[in-house]
């Protein structure tokens, strides 16, 4: 659904967030290196009607269930980094369990009794796991140094199964290069192999109508406002590339960009364009606000907005995943069950009122479903020394 030109004229700055709402009572900056730093202060605002509507549609929830889940995920996002610090070397990962509405923390058997009691007293569920997060991160790092064939779509640490999960495209499972990679991966440490329907692809698109930004003949979606510009996907443009807005007017210039390896960029704006901590709802939901950038644990709900497929929701499936695109591997992406389509690249991901990241790529579409990855926003802010433009009302 295309927005009316009146909306563009009055809220053109919203195009600098052609994905999600960007707002928060506390700005997130390059100094906010951990999730706890981005957690906004109380009192918290109620969930917006638009966010609840999208979660009801895509996650099959009632209004009451959606609101309860948002509140529980806020608590889990605050608790997760504290639990990690408390557990120390015995930490084996954590995730949000939608069925119980609680954070689950995995701990190795050598955890200090006092640390275990403290985590249990905080309200988190505790599970015993054989391998520490530190060990699994080391195993994943070994895989990151391998050259992966195209039939291997990615790999990540999954705290719920306590192994490194390697995704292999179904039709390539018997490929000799894939078999050799899996053999070397298993030598690196505890690994589980998962079959996926298709390989991921980036989600830029040729020039078509809609409400995007354009660089050359590529259309992408704008992510979150930062002071002086906006952040988006790195594969959408290289440093120095000019950017035009929905109406063809000049918006600004790519100041920094990285892809592959990373998939992030930022664009400075000028020429009458400005940034605001709001993102468009595309007529599907009301425009959204964001009040910070606290990292949502695995299992949390997450919603996405982009210039092609607009609003869709799902859950966080994995963090710190290496994705093997045809252009090269990209590290430290977050995987979700949200669908996306070409042209959605760079658009925004949000959990509750917290910014999560910008759309990188995926497989599938919004008719048949699929999976989509995003580049975490806090990493982009830290890399370029940017400050997220947040809502202070």
Residues identified as active-site = 235, 263, 345
**CA gap 169, 11 in Å, rounded:** 43
Q: Are 267 and 332 in contact (CB under 8 A)?
A: no
| Cα–Cα distance measured from residue 94 to residue 79, given in angstroms and rounded to the nearest whole number | 10
Dihedral sign computed on CA atoms, order 100, 96, 365, 280: positive
Interatomic CA distance for residues 58 and 165, integer angstroms: 26
C-alpha separations of 288 from 71, 102, 211, 352, 390 in Å: 17, 26, 17, 10, 11
Q: At residue 156, what are phi and psi to the nearest 5 degrees?
A: -160, 160
Give dist(CA 353, CA 117) in Å, integer: 31
DSSP assignment of 99-121: TTTEEEEEE-TT--HHHHHHHHH
């Amino acid at each position: 659904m295309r927005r009316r030109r009146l909306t563009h004229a009055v809220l053109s700055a919203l195009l600098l967030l052609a994905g999600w709402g960007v707002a928060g009572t506390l700005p997130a900056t390059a100094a906010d290196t951990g999730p706890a730093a981005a957690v906004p202060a109380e009192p918290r605002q109620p969930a917006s009607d638009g966010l609840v509507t999208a979660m009801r549609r895509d996650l099959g929830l009632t209004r009451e269930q959606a609101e309860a889940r948002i509140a529980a995920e806020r608590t889990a996002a605050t608790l997760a980094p504290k639990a990690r610090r408390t557990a120390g070397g015995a930490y084996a990962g954590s995730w949000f369990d939608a069925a119980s509405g609680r954070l689950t923390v995995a701990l190795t058997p050598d955890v200090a009794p006092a640390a275990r009691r403290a985590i249990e007293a905080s309200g988190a569920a505790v599970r015993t796991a054989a391998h520490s997060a530190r060990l699994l991160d080391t195993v994943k790092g070994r895989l990151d140094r391998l050259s992966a064939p195209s039939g291997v779509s990615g790999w990540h640490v999954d705290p719920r199964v306590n192994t490194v999960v390697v995704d292999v495209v179904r039709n390539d499972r018997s490929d000799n290069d894939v078999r050799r990679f899996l053999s070397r991966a298993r030598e690196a440490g505890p690994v589980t192999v998962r079959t996926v329907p298709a390989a991921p692809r980036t989600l830029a698109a040729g020039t078509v109508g809609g409400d995007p930004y354009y660089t050359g003949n590529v259309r992408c979606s704008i992510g979150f406002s930062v002071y002086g510009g906006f952040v988006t996907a790195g594969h959408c443009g290289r440093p120095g590339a000019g950017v035009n807005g929905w109406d063809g007017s000049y918006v600004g210039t790519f100041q920094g960009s990285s892809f592959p390896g990373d998939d992030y960029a930022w664009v400075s704006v000028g020429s009458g364009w400005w940034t605001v901590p709001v993102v468009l709802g595309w007529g599907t939901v009301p425009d959204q606000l964001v009040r910070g950038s606290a990292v949502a644990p695995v299992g949390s709900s997450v919603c996405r907005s982009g210039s092609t497929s607009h609003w869709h929701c799902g859950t966080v499936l994995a963090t710190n995943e290496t994705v093997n695109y045809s252009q090269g591997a990209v590290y430290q992406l977050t995987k979700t069950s949200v669908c996306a389509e070409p042209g959605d690249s760079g658009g925004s991901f949000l959990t509750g009122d917290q910014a999560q990241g910008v759309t990188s790529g995926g497989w599938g579409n919004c008719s048949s479903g699929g999976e989509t990855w995003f580049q975490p926003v806090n990493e982009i802010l830290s890399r370029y020394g940017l400050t997220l433009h947040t809502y202070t009302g």
